[in-house]
């Protein structure tokens, strides 16, 4: 999938015009923060995992890492990240552009509590050079998230 698929998806929420595309890569937290001119903590990174053999996304603040004990307590199994190839195939976005929008059917989406400390965050939009600034409420609405989770390490 691409930024165009995400743009089409976000039309249903009136958010498609908020997508920003860059002449530089925004494929990592650091690159996205530089492209946007913001702190890396405000990048909403989407991490792809397999739970019970099915793909999920956990969207976290850019400055946080997964806490394996919290993850296991939440999902009932050890964290198993998808490979780059599996991510593209099962989620529908290539690494560097993974986002909680316009994903393949059946992908469950979870938002991590680490995002709640910000008024707005910046998830990718399906390509390695795109992002969108969303309020937490807009992210909730547009992502189709299942629930809030607490699976990241404390600072």
Q: Are 29 and 123 in contact (CB under 8 A)?
A: no
pTM: 0.96
pLDDT tens-digit map of 18-66: 999 999 999 999 999 999 999 999 999 999 999 999 999 999 999 999 9
Average pLDDT over residues 113-121: 98
Domains and CATH numbers, the chain: 3-148 (3.90.960.10)
Question: CB count, 10 Å around CB of 16?
Answer: 15
Give CA torsion, residues 149, 67, 73, 136, to 10 deg: 0
Per-residue confidence at 155, pLDDT binned at 50, 70, 90? confident
Q: Which residue has the tokens 């050890």?
A: 78
pLDDT tens-digit map of 65-116: 999 999 999 999 999 999 999 999 999 999 999 999 999 999 999 999 999 9
């Amino acid at each position: 999938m691409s930024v165009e698929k995400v743009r089409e998806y976000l039309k249903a929420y009136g958010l498609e015009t908020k997508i920003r595309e860059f002449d530089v890569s925004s494929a990592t937290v650091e690159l996205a923060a530089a492209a946007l001119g913001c702190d890396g903590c405000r990048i909403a990174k989407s991490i792809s995992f397999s739970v019970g053999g099915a793909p999920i996304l956990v969207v976290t603040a850019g400055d946080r890492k997964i806490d394996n004990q919290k993850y296991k307590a939440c999902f009932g199994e050890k964290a198993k990240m998808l490979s780059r190839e599996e991510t593209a195939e099962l989620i529908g976005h290539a690494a560097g552009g993974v986002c909680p929008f316009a994903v393949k059917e059946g992908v469950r989406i979870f938002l991590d509590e680490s995002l709640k400390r910000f008024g707005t965050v910046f998830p990718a939009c399906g390509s390695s050079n795109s992002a969108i600034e969303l309020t937490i409420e807009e992210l909730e609405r547009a992502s189709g998230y299942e629930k809030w989770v607490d699976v990241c390490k404390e600072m």
